Amino acid sequence: MDASEDILRKAMAEKQLALEAQGNAVRMMKTTGATKQEIDAAIEALNGLKLEKASIERQLQAAISGSEGSLNREAFRQAVVNTLERRLFYIPSFKIYRGVAGLYDYGPPGCAVKSNVLAYWRQHFVLEENMLEVDCPCVTPEVVLKASGHVEKFTDLMVKDEKTGTCYRADHLLKDFCNEKLQKDLSITPEKAAELKRVLAVLDDLSAEELGSKIKEYGITAPETKNPLSDPYPFNLMFQTSIGPSGVSPGYMRPETAQGIFVNFKDLYYYNGNKLPFAAAQIGQAFRNEISPRQGLLRVREFTLAEIEHFVDPENKAHPKFSEVANLEFLMFPREEQMSGHSAKRIPLGEAVSRGIVNNETLGYFIGRVYLFLTRLGIDKNRLRFRQHLANEMAHYAADCWDAEIECSYGWIECVGIADRSAYDLHAHSEKSGVPLVAQEKFPEPREVEKLVISPVKKDLGLAFKGNQRMVVEALEAMNEKEALEMKYTLESKGEMEFYVCTLEKEVTIKKNMVTISREIKKEHQRVFTPSVIEPSFGIGRIIFCLFEHSFYMRPSKAGDEHLNVFRFPPLVAPIKCTVFPLVQNQKYEEVSKVISQSLTSAGISHKIDITGTSIGKRYARTDELGVPFAITVDSTSSATIRERDSKDQIRVNVEEAATVVKDVTDGRRTWEDVWSAFPHHSSGSADE
Ligand code: AMP
């Protein structure tokens, strides 16, 4: 707990006790016939204590809410969301039919921001690392998601209002309860506050039983009706469907894009010249039937994911480019710090890897690249932290996981998950499909090793299984050591056994003559292994929402009578890079504006031309609210001014060079400071609204 908050909570508890004692003293004096003078003095002392308590209360409230108190945060969010919806950045889907929770449409500026973010993602990751981009279907057959574990385990814990049946996410109710108590109940003791904070810190780590018992212990009821709640139970988040008209082929809308990459591993490895490491990437829609979507774009039922699967030798997770990010220093929140109630701290990435806080260099490399990606988009680096998963929060097979969390008006939100998933996914699909998803390392010199060798007898298998021979051979070869030894034992003792061939979706009878399984000393020329995968997974909608909040501010109009909204998007993400305005309605200026507009089109700069008679100040204000970084104003036939959105500074350029200057600053070849020092300045009241 924050030191000042702790001290203030203690002071509050002491003051409350003193008040009660003084209250009792006054009552006692009245009943025991004390003099009026004595009683007045005691009442004065009581009032003094009340004033002191009120003052501590105010300080505590300020310490809890910080400078951006929760009320301020909500008002701020309202201002941002109103602007976003009014200017069609995004809007609830199917609005004329009263919408559907958790589904949103992006309007024109929102689409442009999203496509800029995705273009930069491709540049920063796919291009930089020569990743192999793929595009797989959203509809996925059940077998794939059974192999990945989603059919069984892709669940959230849900509780139901026992009378109305309304569903809630169990962890969300507990989180809301703890936050509300901490923020609004100033009378709780420092010990109780510490306990609630601890529950919040380990919330993702709690089992169904632990969540259920906390809900009972705190007396949490259904938020709207106050009815009792059921025990928490798992709800699968996937949307189920069936593929084809017969209804016999179950499928799901994919909950992530990663599985499309894993099932293509064999072909992608071949495409990459049978070399590791390599990464595949995919951008696409993911679908999750969230229990109670809220928080706008942050928790939706259909969203865009951008995912990278970086395949690496499990015995060598060093990264050749790690030194390029090792000196970055940013907020990291290791598991131990969370468990002991501390806050995130700045750690140089090189140190985090060398001290083993981050499991390996490749994972560290991606953490560093994600940091650069988010901050270059415009995420405030002081409101970005990398939080390590707690032990139970992490899947059992994972070696290490970190979430890039961004602080917005809803608190700290996971926007990118970066996980070392070990060899789990490729193993799972190898086993289920019978197709080995493995890599090879060629040895410079052959090595002698004892091996369990599975040799299918293709002639006998061909006679028995005809056209299915290949599938049976592949399934036999894909057996792991334990399965192969079991088969060896059964064939030796019984002569035959039933064997499930996944690709045939049935069992076949394997006889002793069809396969030999033996331990042999072999000379090996290569090592065959299942690669590990390191997966950065980006929720694009969440990143965009946080970017909207981090970019939004208000400034007073020139007359000082209203507040004007501005998005300070960097040119990289701004939905429109530039506007072109004739200063006044005048045919010559309009023609010059059209010439500049054509040059901007040829230079590939998205822009908007506005020849309405509205005052120039109003036109600036309208585009500031869309986050347009530059405005060219034509006020002569030979030259024009260029205004920068945040400083409102203006330079004067020749008409012919206007498009080039804007292109240079939007593409990052020159900064605004560069052009500010290279061109004459223009000052006029019209830069303001
Ligand atoms: P996960 O596979 O659960 O780690 O999710 C990967 C990323 O997807 C997260 O880091 C989030 O940014 C994003 N995400 C997950 N669930 C949702 C959702 N319901 N709405 C929007 N984004 C989501």
CA of 375 to the centre of ligand 1 (A): 19
Higher pLDDT, 451 or 543: 543
Encode pLDDT of 532-581 as tens digits: 999 999 999 999 999 999 999 999 988 888 899 999 999 999 999 999 99
Cβ 371 vs Cβ 328: under 8 Å: yes
Whether 255 is in the pocket of ligand 1, judged by its Cβ within 6 Å, is no
Any ligand 1 atom below 6 A from CB of 300: yes
Question: Tokens 């590791």 belong to which residue?
Answer: 276
Decide: 542 in ligand 1 pocket, CB within 6 A. Answer: yes
Gyration radius from the chain CA atoms = 32
Amino acid symbol at 244: G
* Token digits of residue 217: 């212990």
Q: Is the C-beta atom of 290 inside 6 A of ligand 1?
A: yes
Taking only the tens place, the pLDDT of each residue in 325-384 is 999 999 999 999 988 878 899 999 999 999 999 999 999 999 999 999 999 999 999 999
Say if 362 falls within a structural domain: yes
**Checking DSSP bridges between strand 506-511 and strand 240-242, what pairing results, if any?**
unpaired
Q: Which of 254, 414, 543 most suits a substitution to test ligand 1, by most atoms within 8 Å of the C-beta?
A: 414
Nearest 5°: CA angle at 534, between 442 and 200? Answer: 155
Residue 53 CA, ligand 1 centroid: distance in Å? 44
Mutate to test the pocket of ligand 1, among 100, 542, 544 (most ligand atoms within 8 A of CB): 542
Shared domain check, 44 and 121: no
Cα–Cα distances in Å, from 401 out to 278, 394, 398? 20, 7, 7
Q: Are residues 583 and 653 in the same domain?
A: yes
Are 397 and 416 in a shared domain? Answer: yes
**How far, in Å, from the CA of 541 to the mean position of ligand 1?**
9
Q: How far is the CA of 254 from the centre of ligand 1 (A)?
A: 13
Domain that holds residue 18: 3-67
Whose tokens are 């197709």? That residue is 435
Pairwise CA distance, residues 242 & 251, whole Å: 5
Q: Using a 6 Å cutoff on CB, does residue 415 contact ligand 1?
A: yes
Report the separation in Å between the CA atom of 572 and the middle of ligand 1, taken as the mean of its atom positions. 24
Domain assignment present for residue 57? The answer is: yes
The best mutation among 114, 156, 537, 545 to test binding of ligand 1, ranked by most ligand atoms within 8 Å of the C-beta, falls on 537
Please tell me the distance between residue 321's alpha carbon and the centre of ligand 1 in angstroms: 28
Whether residues 285 and 401 fall in one domain: yes
**Mean pLDDT, range 457-475, rounded to an integer:** 92
The verdict on 471 and 428 lying in the same domain is: no
Report the number of distinct structural domains present in the chain: 4
DSSP annotation of 613 reads: S
Please report which confidence band the pLDDT of residue 3 belongs to, taking 50, 70 and 90 as the band edges. low
Residue 228, in any domain of the structure: no
325 lies in the same domain as 397: yes
Percent of the residues in the chain that have a pLDDT greater than 90, as a whole number: 73
431/14 Cα distance (integer angstroms): 64
Cβ atoms 601, 612 nearer than 8 A: no
Listed in sequence order, the residues at least 6 apart from 103 whose beta carbon sits closer than 8 Å to its beta carbon are: 92, 93, 94, 300, 301, 302
Q: How would DSSP label each residue in 634-664?
A: E-SSSEEEEEETTT--EEEEEGGGHHHHHHH
Query: From the CB of 288, is ligand 1 less than 6 Å away?
Result: yes
83's tokens: 């602007």
- Whether residue 349 is contained in a domain is answered as yes
Q: What is the DSSP letter of 376?
A: H
Considering the domain boundaries, does residue 168 fall inside one? no
Tell me, yes or no, whether 452 and 597 share the same domain.
Answer: no
Is the distance from CB of 187 to CB of 20 less than 8 angstroms?
A: no
| Residue 67: per-residue pLDDT | 45
Of 490, 513, 529, the one marking the end of a domain is 529
Query: What pLDDT is attached to residue 449?
Result: 84
> Which residue's alpha carbon is nearest to atom 11 within ligand 1?
539
Q: Is residue 609 part of a domain?
A: yes
CA atoms within 13 A on the CB side of 20: 5
**Helix (H) and strand (E) counts for the chain?**
23, 29
The answer, yes or no, to whether residue 689 has pLDDT greater than 60, is: no
Q: Are residues 260 and 388 in the same domain?
A: yes
Same domain membership, residue 512 and residue 580: no
pLDDT reported for residue 68:
46
The residue nearest atom 4 of ligand 1, judged by CA position, is: 417
Residue 222 lies in a domain: no
- The answer to whether the CB of 150 is under 6 A from ligand 1 is no
Interval 251-279: pLDDT, tens: 999 999 999 999 999 999 999 999 999 99
CATH of the domain at 290: 3.30.930.10
Q: Does residue 102 have its Cβ closer than 6 Å to ligand 1?
A: no
Q: Is the separation of the CB atoms in 531 and 314 below 8 Å?
A: yes
| DSSP H or E run through 509 | strand 506-511
Q: Do 168 and 291 contact (CB within 8 A), yes or no?
A: yes
Same domain flag for 549 and 405: yes
Closest atom of ligand 1 to CA, residue 543: 12
Mean per-residue pLDDT of the chain: 92
CATH number where 9 lies: 1.10.287
Q: What span, in angstroms and rounded, lies between the C-alpha atoms of 366 and 458?
A: 45
How does DSSP assign 554-574, residue by residue? EEE-TTSSSEEEEE---TTT-
What pLDDT is recorded for position 688? 58
Q: Residue 425: CB within 6 Å of ligand 1?
A: no
Confirm or reject: Cβ of 156 under 6 Å from ligand 1: no
Q: Is 541 in the pocket of ligand 1 (CB under 6 A)?
A: yes
CA 286 to ligand 1 centroid distance, Å: 9
- Residue ending a domain, among 520, 553, 586, is 553
Q: Are 48 and 38 part of one and the same domain? A: yes
Ligand 1 centre from 418 Cα, in Å?
12
Rounded Cα gap, residues 338 and 280, in angstroms:
33
The pLDDT tens digits for 67-93 are 445 558 889 999 999 999 999 999 999
Q: What angle do CA 14, 200, 364 make, to 5 degrees?
A: 130
5 compared with 574, residue with greater pLDDT: 574
Looking at the structure, do residues 541 and 522 belong to the same domain, yes or no? no
* Of 496, 529, 562, the domain-final residue: 529
Q: What is the pLDDT of residue 188?
A: 85
Q: Terminal CA-to-CA distance of the chain, rounded, Å? A: 45
| Residue 223 CA, ligand 1 centroid: distance in Å | 25
Residue 160 has pLDDT above 50, yes or no: yes
Residue with CA closest to ligand 1 atom 18: 299
Q: Residue 417: CB within 6 Å of ligand 1?
A: yes
Under the banding of pLDDT at 50, 70 and 90, the label for residue 659 is: very high
Atom of ligand 1 nearest to the CA of 419: 4
Give the per-residue pLDDT at 69: 54
- Beta carbon of 539 within 6 Å of any ligand 1 atom: yes
Q: How far is the CA of 414 from the centre of ligand 1 (A)?
A: 7
Q: Is 305 in the pocket of ligand 1 (CB under 6 A)?
A: yes
Q: What gap in Å lies between CA 189 and CA 684, rounded to an integer?
A: 59
d(CA 632, CA 596): 9
Alpha-carbon span 194 to 200, nearest angstrom: 10
**Cα angle: 439, vertex 443, 446; to 5 degrees:** 125
Whether 205 is covered by a domain: the verdict is no
Amino acid present at 483: E
- pLDDT one-digit tens code per residue, 311-321: 999 999 999 99
Q: Tell me: cis bond preceding 190? Omega within 30 of 0 counts.
A: no
Give the atom of ligand 1 at the shortest distance from the alpha carbon of 290. Answer: 19
Q: What is the spatial distance between Cα 91 and Cα 429, in angstroms, rounded to a whole number?
A: 39
For residue 203, the tally of other CB atoms under 10 A from its CB is: 18
Q: What gap in Å lies between CA 536 and CA 554, rounded to an integer?
A: 34
- Residue 305 CA, closest ligand 1 atom number: 8
Say whether pLDDT at 616 is over 90: no
Most informative mutation of 257, 294, 299 for ligand 1 (most atoms within 8 A of CB)? 299
CATH number reported for the structural domain that contains residue 485 in this entry: 3.30.720.200
Q: Helix 3-31 crosses helix 36-65 at what angle (to 10 degrees)?
A: 160
Query: Does position 687 have pLDDT exceeding 60, yes or no?
Result: no
Q: What are the φ and ψ backbone dihedral angles of 562, each rounded to 5 degrees?
A: -150, 165
